[in-house]
Amino acid sequence: MNATYEPLCVVADRRALVLVLAQKADAVEQTNRVARSEHRAEPLPSVVRLIRYVRVPRRAAVPLTRRAVFARDGGRCVYCDLPATSLDHVVPRSRGGLHVWENVVSACRRCNHIKADRIISDLGWRMRHVPFQPIGPAWRILGSGRADPAWAPYLVDHAGGGAGHAAGRAVLEHLALPA
């Protein structure tokens, strides 16, 4: 995290430890693992905060990748809640559906197969949540494909933007924590 607690990126455990030992960052959360060297054992941090603020250029929207969509949808099918295996266009591309955050969801093989080129109102299906475009630094962390429940308190408030509450819930869901 930045000095302001804004989530920045995911780094390897060792890199995080080096930042702490070099007094460039504080360990905000520790893991229960240690890094052993010849002379000592150091606890490995799970969340670190830079001591000096670094200016980060404002990056564009979170890229629409399979990993990021799975993160937003909690890794589960939006139609039936089973583990997701693929992406689905809610309005099929063959019917003019766009490849945008609001029309792309995670789905299981079975639902994807049954749905095929139909729209959900034809099938009487509902989605667990309305797909939204994730905004905010938390999503770059979640889109990295790594996640640790200890990160949740530092991500929830940065998942927001327009999506607000639903986004915060999605973060908790992705990290498998009760809302």
Which positions touch Zn ion (CB under 5 A)? 77, 79-80, 82, 108, 111
- The rounded distance, in Å, linking the Cα atoms of 142 and 148 is 10
Q: Which is nearer to Zn ion, 126 or 146 (CB)?
A: 126
Length of the chain as a residue count:
179
CB of 132 to Zn ion, least distance (A): 19
Q: Which is nearer to Zn ion, 27 or 84 (CB)?
A: 84
SS3 category, 128: coil
Q: How far is CA 73 from each of CA 24, 70, 78, 84, rounded to the nearest angstrom? A: 35, 5, 7, 9
For residue 128, give every residue at least 6 positions away whose Cβ sits within 8 Å of its Cβ, in sequence order, or none: 73, 76, 78, 79, 81
Q: Which is nearer to Zn ion, 31 or 86 (CB)?
A: 86
CB of 82 to Zn ion, least distance (A): 5
Q: Which is nearer to Zn ion, 44 or 77 (CB)?
A: 77
Q: What's the angle, vertex CA 56, arms to CA 151 and CA 156, rounded to 5? A: 25
